[in-house]
Amino acid sequence: MNLKALSRWTEKELKYLLLVPTILLLLILTVYPLIFAIIASLHTINIRTGERSFVGLKNFIQIISDNLFWNALKNTAIYSGVGVTVEFAFGLGLALLLNTRLAGRNIFRALLLTPMMLPPIVVAVIFKIMYIPDFGVLNYLLGLIGIKGMIWEASVKTALFSLIILDIWEWTPFMFLILLAGLQAIPTDPYEAAIVDGANKFQIFKFITWPLLIPAVLIALLLRLMDTLRIFDQVFIMTGGGPANATETISLYIYRHAFRFSNIGYATAMSFIMLIITVIISNVFINRLKAEEVFTL
């Protein structure tokens, strides 16, 4: 009887025992870093000397009067807003075009995905070479049509714009891929009924394609916005945040304070601000997705 009871107890508790490694891993990778970040945001911590002192909410209050932080936030907002908007417009146009019976469309689809498959670091280096004022290919092409070449990365007026061009080239295929999947998921019955009723192409797009495509649109915009809000690697390689902080993004600014100025506390406080902004934006899109009945309520 004792052996049978022990066997039943082991079988009952085994499912909980198997969860222990996963729970420990989550505690180590998520809970502990979160607690450490909360504590760090309330201190000034010098990673070089190891010195720390409790300052309470001083780091968060300092952000309010930090003009460089707000400049970085503005640059990030412009980068995200302009880049994602243009990517969406191009991606939607390409998805609509290549969703038709176009000859060789599969080849075009494969070619369009090539920029997205390249490592961001490689793309940044390629564009940095292309932007060289003296012998870069972009200024050469502009010269062929009689336009004077620009100082792409070294000018305050064009530096951020040059980064946005890079982002559009690399990530428009991502928008295209999601929107094309959304278009192909739309059933054909509504289109057949609309054609029978005599609807033209614009009416079909307005009243059938667009409403049914909204979930895919929201997902594509959400994923790209979250990605652009944390942009770092390409900015770091191409401009380093210059000239005159014209391309300084939030991620790069946080990096400077954490690893160059050795102020982990202030960097962590700024990270929490960006986390709050990201959560707010995400909730707006997720609530809209729920309204579209993408998720089960």
Q: What is the pLDDT of residue 27?
A: 84
Task: Please state the rounded mean pLDDT for residues 60-84.
Answer: 94
Q: What is the fold, at CATH topology level, of the domain defined by 67-291?
A: MetI-like fold (1.10.3720)
Q: What is the pLDDT of residue 295?
A: 45
Strand residues in 33-150 grouped as ranges (E): 43-45, 52-54
Q: Which amino acid, 133?
A: P
Average pLDDT, the chain: 86
Examine the pLDDT at 297 and tell me if it is beyond 50: no
- CA dist 117 and 21 (Å) reads 34
Q: What is the pLDDT of residue 78?
A: 95
Contacts of 191 (CB under 8 A, 6+ apart): 204, 208
Beta bridge partners of 43: 54
The residue with greater pLDDT, 113 or 73, is 73
The residue with greater pLDDT, 149 or 225, is 225
Beta bridge partners of 52: 45
Helices 210-229 and 67-98 pack at an angle, to 10 degrees, of: 140
What region, left, alpha or beta, does residue 147 occupy, with left being phi > 0 and alpha being psi -120 to 50 degrees? beta
Examine the pLDDT at 84 and tell me if it is beyond 50: yes
Beta bridge partners of 172: none
Helices 210-229 and 264-291 pack at an angle, to 10 degrees, of: 180
Using a pLDDT cut of 70, give the percent of the chain over it. Answer: 94
- CA dist 57 and 44 (Å) reads 11
| Ranges 63-67, 81-85, 260-264, 277-281: which has the least confidence | 260-264
Per the confidence metrics, is the pTM higher than 0.75? yes
Distance set, CA 239 to CA 117, 125, 222 (Å):
23, 11, 26
- With cut-offs at 50, 70 and 90, classify the pLDDT of residue 10: low
Integer Rg of the chain from CA: 25
Surface-to-core class of residue 55, CB atoms within 10 Å of its CB (0-12 exposed, 13-18 middle, 19+ buried): middle
- With cut-offs at 50, 70 and 90, classify the pLDDT of residue 293: low
Task: Please state the rounded mean pLDDT for residues 271-296.
Answer: 83
The phi and psi torsions of 53 (rounded to 5 degrees) equal -145, 140
Q: What is the pLDDT of residue 165?
A: 93
Quick one: which of 214, 213, 207 has its CA closest to 191?
Answer: 207
Domain boundaries, the chain: 67-291
Task: Please state the rounded mean pLDDT for residues 264-290.
Answer: 91
- With cut-offs at 50, 70 and 90, classify the pLDDT of residue 51: confident
Q: What is the pLDDT of residue 5?
A: 53
Quick one: which of 158, 124, 149 has its CA closest to 231?
Answer: 124
DSSP symbol at 296: -
